[in-house]
Chain A
Amino acid sequence: MEIPYTVQNRPDTGIYNAKVGIWLFLASEVMLFGGLFSAYILLRVGAAPGEWPHGWLNVTLGTINTILLALSAITTLLAWAACKVREFGKFKFFHACTIVLALTFLGIKSYEYRDKFMHYEVQLQPSAKNRAAGEFADGHLVAKSGDFDLAKKTGFIKLHGHIVKDRKELMDLRSPEAQAAQHEELTIAAADIKKMENYAPRHNTFTAIYFTLTGLHALHILGGTLVIFYLWGPGSRMWKTDPERFTNRVEVSGLFWHFVDLVWIFLFPVLYLT
């Protein structure tokens, strides 16, 4: 038994099976990310005035990641073109570039995640020394004393950050005041802390949707990288037996990769630039 049109195009549809499959799959992916982007829009439109944060993400890193993915889209295309003209060495080179670019992207992404998890917003006790009631300390965790325990009120933490009078000041980090703020090392005793929370998904709806969208996207990058790595490494044996089919595989995985890039092209402005 042989399933027809696994390699050759079906004459009346002009396309081979896997290409139909991947386009359909991408259609469902559009609906998946479409649903999440709709959620983003609804949450943002529904946010109370001043509650939606701006400037929380590092635009430089975002730009670098955008460029990395754009380059990887080019190398993916070149890898497929190399297969088409039957130049296996070039295919190996270009897809090696793709893999390196993708892994760099993931590395930068995990650095950004780590940065958010180390970033704390600390609500101070009204009684805290030299502090007015309701002030916030905001910054990155530098050190935690060994006996630090919020419940027992023992120990202290060191943050690299600054003190703000009102939580609202943290919402727009692009404002002149926020830009002008002096960041220094702050030592805060556990007894002075009313509530302390890092910029994890639960922090607010922005971090929630940021982590969900970019996390799901990063999983797609990871999946795509694994597939491309398979085709580059063990899967490339098919080149010797069935180069036509192998080229199709490269094309199909490339279509997926371009979709993942495209999602990032939407994610970057939506999350970083607005």
Chain B
Amino acid sequence: MGAKAQTSDAVEAAMRPAHIVMDVERLGSLYPYPLSFMRSLLRRVMREKWQITPAIFDLCDEGYGTAVYEVVTPNALFSYVIFAKELDAAARSDRVIAQDWDMTVTLCEGRVDEARLAELKANVPLQENGRVDASCFVLSRANKSVRNFEAVVSALSQGRQPDLDAMARVGYLYRTTAVYGSGKFGMANWKKVKTRWADFASPFFAEMFSCWMIRHFSLVQVDHVAAKRNPETSVKMDERIKRYVGIGNATGLGMAPYLINHPRLINNWIWVRETALARVVTDGAVDDVSRGNFDCFALKAMQHLDEISTDNEEQNRLNANARADLERLMSWFKKTKITSWRDVACFAQDNLTIEAQELINALLLELHPDLIMDLEDSLSVNEVYSLEGGMRAGDLKALIETHYDWALQIDFSDPKRQDMFWYRSEEKMEPRLGRRFEEPGAGSEMLLGIGWYVRECYNELCAYVEANGPDMMTARFAFEYPEHRYITRRMQTMAKTRYGEIRINAIDAEVLPIQLLRCKLSFFGVGKFDPRSRMWVRNTMFQGAPLVSDIGGDFGDTWCFPIRPSLS
């Protein structure tokens, strides 16, 4: 289904079944892996030696002003435009509904001249309230971690390196609060990006690049402000610490509908990941080198988990259990002569928590990049959901019973199974969750409770088949019941995919949207999840990643599970 890469029979046989993989608790336990978008992006940037240089750097002593970076790739020249301003503390909010930010940015094609810069300056800082043209393809903003930013500037200006304990706790100087692409606010459509700008033709490359550049600018900005504050004594931040500085991110409900509204794409991402895992456990050589690498990655992952700082008790419990489970696995691994990496995956599956299983799968995926890199080109898919009107109604009924059995098992007669509804708030259309039986707005519910729509369609279809017989065409059923046309074509399409839908009842009283968020963020390459409620999560991007100044140097692509640097 859109995936170009080939798989052997043995690999096919090793792939995990949909009912395991698409369980939302498991998807909510995924860790980043080598084909996560930010990892793929930086491999390309480093391999192709993109040139990133400041064309305009007009900042005042406090670091406010304009910067434009020119980005030269093998195919084109792009500009990354940044507006940094002084922000009143009372206006600083990570919510989509905020109106002002410390930093606003855009990524656009070509060189930015004075007139174009003026146009961008009039619109980019307004974000959703501004308009840009179709040469732009990312619009984003970020807020300072004020305490961390000031502490770092203060230390550097006094000739000291930042406090690593504080950096380990927070891990970034700025948090992005929204990263828009794909045609929003007049920008270029994803199809244009994909067909016109080969450098960014992979999913979310442009958005990830923007986040990486925000991180870059934040590091430049602290050095700049520290130097201006005290030119005599200031020092620049040590590059090892710089690599440990990521970019913070706050992700809320807005991301969740994306996963439910793009089931074919998500199926494809999962298919790629599962294929990669199956290849490693099937074909990955077990030798001294790979055993040693596994040992190193496991030690790094344990330290990484130890260093995650969150107030969320459940996340702390998950991290602690995963760490303990990993230690248990390593103890078994050291005294066991495994013959294939499947032994490790099986041990995890039989003995450890889901969180630990997925952690270990992420480690396995680091071992044999040669076996999985060709899958990188299979992450995009043309998302068409066509009604198969010629299908017999009886066959459609059987299809639902086979592929949507998980949805039919939900007992919607229990009010708790439909207690929530998703809606768009009048505040910037922010997606929100409401209680169906207590709050107004259920009449404007978003179409996200897929299981419920499946059940409604199935009930009508059963009656239709009963009345008209099983040979009637689906096209006639869809004509007579237009309210079921969408879910019907969706089910017909997804039934042909390997993994199908995410198995979630998104309107359940106990739904955990952060599981969806973490799933998507893991594909982005994000780590250090810090859930703030069941509806939003803070996290850190690009921590441990190479710097812009590393382009052209050695690059090992081993920056997963970032850990505190040793400065001795």
Do A and B come from the same complex?
no
Q: Which residues of B are at the interface with A, using a C-beta cutoff of 8 A?
A: none
Q: Which residues of A are at the interface with B, using a C-beta cutoff of 8 A?
A: none
